Chain A
Amino acid sequence: MHSIWKTSLRYTIFSFLLFGLVYPLALTGVAERLFPHKADGSLIVRNGEVIGSKLLAQGFTSDRYFHPRPSAAGNGYDAAESGASNLAQSNAILVHREQADVDKLRKENPGVPVPEDLVTASASGLDPDITPDAAYFQALRVAKARGWSVDVVRALIAEHTVGRTFGLLGEPRVNVLELNLVLDSRDPHKAVSVIP
């Protein structure tokens, strides 16, 4: 019995050192050499300032930009407090929230059904993507606000739509932050301040 405790204690020290420190620290060293940008969180830097991560949604409300999906992370798009609404399908709060968003979006684009991902909160609250349907749904609004032809905006969406991996995995999607950066880079008024 005595030997069980002694061995347990020694084995605990050994394993906490190997798996708790050596493994993650060595891996950090290797990862930062091999994939520095990704190991760092795929951050997007403009003019020496971090404006966000390619992988994480951030809030957009202006008509000039595409909007991401609703977020329940913190007070919305909080990348230090990820999370979902966790509301049940039978919860009146969820259905009323979704219905209010549907009604609002219908006014923006009458006659067109509202893509579901635009009125449902994502699992992480930081979903960087929307479906291509959700992007095309917003094209008219963005084009109007920027004084562009809607065809230009639609072409940009098509260009930035990512298909299924190997034609099989996941679903087609559009990265909202990347698309919005492209919008600004094409906009003569905005381009000066955003592109380094």
Chain B
Amino acid sequence: MTANGWLQFVVFSLLILITARPLGIYLEGVIEGKIGWINRLFGKPEQLIYKLCGVQAHEEMGWKEYAGALLGFSAVTLLATYFIERLQAILPFNPQHLTSVSPWLAWNTSASFTTNTNWQSYTPEMTMSYLTQMAGLATHNFLSAAVGIVAAIALVRGIKRTDCKTIGNFWVDITRVLLYVLLPGSVIYALVLVATGVPQNLHGYVQAHTLEQPGIVQTIAEGPVASQEAIKMLGTNGGGFFNANSAHPYENPTPFSNFLEILSIFLIPAALTCTLGSMTHSPGHGWAVFAAMFVLFAAGFAAVYAAESQYNPMLRGVAQTGSATAPAGNMEGKEVRNGIAASALFATATTDASCGAVNSMHDSYTPLGGMVLLTNILLGEVVFGGVGAGLYGMLIFVILAVFIAGLMVGRTPEYLGKKIEAFDVKMAMLYVLIFPLAILTLAAIYVILPKIGLSSLNNPGPHGLSEILYAFTSAVGNNGSAFAGLNANTPAYNIALGWAMLIGRFLMLVPVLAIAGNLAQKKRLPVSAGTFPVNTPTFTVLLIGVVLILGALTFFPVLSLGPILEHLQLHAGHLF
């Protein structure tokens, strides 16, 4: 580890801290329609969209109606992407004349992008036409991000409102997030990316006659990369334009673009904690949640950075100490311009935040480095988390933390003046239990099936278990990163992972909205001496404890059979 590496982490953290509040307040203003100049300038076009789409913008929705609109819309967009993929051979913007996508891959990919997962079991530059990338996939980057954000906002409204049967209007909410946050953000961001070297064109792949042997032709894949890259990072989607994702120099050409990309993973998720604080009139609570997330993030970075600064103990005769110009560490699957520190920072942020973009290959991380990345996802994607998904996930843990605190002192638990009762805790437990149940069951099935499960492995031994576990964790956690050696482009994996992603998104969203609806109709109790304060360091520690204990207790056994065993064997001189 180097001082410079840590300094990058510190500067990154400060920027997230500084941007959280203004952006969080802006998000609230936009979604609640409270910003005057936006209403004046864009009010008419916004109304026109509602008119064209048949939205009754003034009508508020109950939680069931809100969930219905969210699910119905997601289903229709999923189908639209499925058909674009299946028909891409006869559709425009296909200069490479790529054939249409096979049914199971198209199913997996449309489920993947609808759920904000962006798991990719294909090599994009060899499989997807420009139209599929732009319309079929990047559109979902916008939509699934907006859906996540509005679900979190709906939950916060549930906490905020009293004696109210409704939690907002789904169509109005996503429209405002799309038009005033994600679209302008992406346009500016994409142009900055082009300025750093990210291509944005529509012509076919370029044939280059290489310098040493002009007879050898290098085919260079091109395309509308920057427009997709911007929303891929800003919406914590993570689906790469190229197979190598943000490791590809065309997606992430310089250390500066790399830093921006890491920053844009956490930008909105961190800001949403301040939106929570502001909307519920308890900014201290927002910061307490932010603090819990930050502690888990910092701990994860320290662990990954330390692990990746180690050489493979089985490799002899390499520059074993590092130097000022080549810091020591495991460089397999990493890029020189990023080095160890910026790779570890990216990897930690992307697994914390259900982004899933990668600038280095997690499969080749040291056993312990890879384990921390896997653990970040297994904690439930609540360390800042995906846009919206991170906040509503963390709020579920907040409800459980408050419930546990209530049990300890023998009082009915309250959260910001709302009684937490049986229905809320049941829904929260449903949310918390679906996650490990889906991951462990599916991984266990595929681990015992040699023909359809194990035959896809790229690595033998305990790392093979990690590969399969990571795949289902990434899918259910809607992360999308991978131990990418696993060949997941088989019908068996495409089907199972597709369902895993849908379970991890929608089966978990419904209990969240149910809690939102239930909280909204409750009365607010006055604060008393017995109220457990949720804006103190004590609360932050309790919240971290709940997240860690649930994650650690559930998944420690399987981690000990995968990465921990691999680490011990490797350091005992055993290869597989």
**Which residues of A does B touch, CB under 8 Å?**
1, 3-12, 14-16, 18-21, 23-25, 27-28, 30-32, 34-35, 38-43, 49-53, 55-56, 58-62, 65, 69, 73, 77-92, 94-95, 98-99, 102-103, 106, 113-117, 119-134, 161, 164-166, 168-173, 177, 180-181, 184, 194
Bound complex: CA of A25 vs CA of B134, how far in Å? 9
User: B395 interface residue, CB < 8 Å from A?
Assistant: no
B69 with A4: CB separation less than 8 A: yes
The smallest beta-carbon distance between A85 and chain B, in angstroms, is 7
A82 with B125: CB separation less than 8 A: yes
Q: What chain B residues lie within 8 Å of A171 (beta carbons)?
A: 255, 325-327, 336-339, 342
10 nearest CB pairs, A to B:
A170-B255, A20-B135, A86-B485, A171-B339, A123-B247, A124-B244, A82-B244, A169-B255, A88-B463, A31-B200
Q: What chain B residues lie within 8 Å of A49 (beta carbons)?
A: 209, 214
The smallest beta-carbon distance between B535 and chain A, in angstroms, is 34
Q: What chain B residues lie within 8 Å of A117 (beta carbons)?
A: 326, 331, 336
User: B116 interface residue, CB < 8 Å from A?
Assistant: no
The smallest beta-carbon distance between B236 and chain A, in angstroms, is 16
For window 285-332 of chain B, which residues contact chain A by CB distance below 8 Å? 311-312, 314-320, 323, 325-332
Contact count band on B:
35 or more
For window 235-270 of chain B, which residues contact chain A by CB distance below 8 Å? 242-244, 247-250, 253-256, 258-259
User: B208 interface residue, CB < 8 Å from A?
Assistant: yes
Bound complex: CA of A117 vs CA of B249, how far in Å? 17
Q: What chain B residues lie within 8 Å of A60 (beta carbons)?
A: 211-212
Bound complex: CA of A58 vs CA of B142, how far in Å? 35
Q: What chain B residues lie within 8 Å of A122 (beta carbons)?
A: 247, 333-336
Pair count A-B, CB < 8 A? 401
**28 A-B pairs in the complex with CB atoms less than 8 angstroms apart:** A3-B54, A4-B72, A7-B53, A9-B76, A11-B55, A12-B80, A20-B139, A28-B200, A28-B202, A35-B194, A38-B197, A51-B208, A53-B208, A55-B249, A55-B250, A58-B211, A86-B364, A87-B332, A91-B575, A119-B315, A124-B242, A124-B247, A165-B256, A165-B259, A168-B7, A169-B8, A170-B259, A170-B339
Given A81-B123, A82-B248: 16 more A-B contacts, CB < 8 Å: A4-B73, A8-B69, A12-B80, A27-B187, A27-B226, A41-B250, A49-B209, A86-B485, A87-B332, A99-B315, A102-B317, A103-B317, A117-B331, A119-B315, A125-B244, A168-B7
User: B360 interface residue, CB < 8 Å from A?
Assistant: yes
Q: What chain A residues lie within 8 Å of B138 (beta carbons)?
A: 19-20, 23-24
From B207, B210, B249, B361, name the one whose CB has the most chain A CB atoms within 10 angstroms.
B249
Q: What chain B residues lie within 8 Å of A170 (beta carbons)?
A: 254-256, 258-259, 337-339, 342
Bound complex: CA of A6 vs CA of B138, how far in Å? 23
B315 with A79: CB separation less than 8 A: no
From A41, A99, A121, A127, name the one whose CB has the most chain B CB atoms within 10 angstroms.
A41
Which secondary structure dominates where chain A touches chain B?
Answer: mixed
The smallest beta-carbon distance between A175 and chain B, in angstroms, is 9
Q: What chain B residues lie within 8 Å of A85 (beta carbons)?
A: 332-333, 361, 364
A50 with B318: CB separation less than 8 A: no
CB contact between A15 and one of B143, B198, B209, B460 (< 8 Å): that residue: B143
B126 with A81: CB separation less than 8 A: yes
For window 50-99 of chain B, which residues contact chain A by CB distance below 8 Å? 52-55, 68-69, 72-73, 75-77, 80
Segment of B216-224, B375-383, B518-526, B538-546 in the binding face: B216-224
User: B191 interface residue, CB < 8 Å from A?
Assistant: yes
**Using an 8 Å CB-CB cutoff, how does the interface string of B337-364 with A read, 1 for contact, 0 for none?**
1110010000000000000001111011
The smallest beta-carbon distance between A18 and chain B, in angstroms, is 8
Bound complex: CA of A81 vs CA of B483, how far in Å? 18
Closest B residue, CB atoms, query A20 = B135
B139 with A131: CB separation less than 8 A: no
A169 with B258: CB separation less than 8 A: yes
B332 with A113: CB separation less than 8 A: no
B206 with A41: CB separation less than 8 A: yes
Bound complex: CA of A40 vs CA of B223, how far in Å? 9
Q: What chain B residues lie within 8 Å of A80 (beta carbons)?
A: 125-126, 205, 219-221
Q: What chain A residues lie within 8 Å of B7 (beta carbons)?
A: 168
Q: What chain A residues lie within 8 Å of B338 (beta carbons)?
A: 170-171
User: B576 interface residue, CB < 8 Å from A?
Assistant: yes
Bound complex: CA of A14 vs CA of B179, how far in Å? 12
Q: What chain A residues lie within 8 Å of B125 (beta carbons)?
A: 80-82
A91 with B244: CB separation less than 8 A: no
B332 with A120: CB separation less than 8 A: yes
Closest A residue, CB atoms, query B312 = A89
Q: What chain B residues lie within 8 Å of A161 (beta carbons)?
A: 325
From A52, A89, A131, name the one whose CB has the most chain B CB atoms within 10 angstroms.
A89
B325 with A90: CB separation less than 8 A: no
Bound complex: CA of A69 vs CA of B33, how far in Å? 53
User: B4 interface residue, CB < 8 Å from A?
Assistant: yes
The smallest beta-carbon distance between B443 and chain A, in angstroms, is 17
User: B569 interface residue, CB < 8 Å from A?
Assistant: yes
For window 169-214 of chain B, which residues contact chain A by CB distance below 8 Å? 171, 178, 183, 186-187, 190-191, 194-202, 205-212, 214
Q: What chain A residues lie within 8 Å of B256 (beta carbons)?
A: 165-166, 169-170
Q: What chain B residues lie within 8 Å of A52 (beta carbons)?
A: 208, 210-211, 218, 220
User: B459 interface residue, CB < 8 Å from A?
Assistant: yes
The smallest beta-carbon distance between B470 and chain A, in angstroms, is 11
B54 with A12: CB separation less than 8 A: no
Closest A residue, CB atoms, query B368 = A89
Say yes or no: A127-B319 contact (C-beta < 8 A), given A38-B199, A39-B194, A91-B463: no
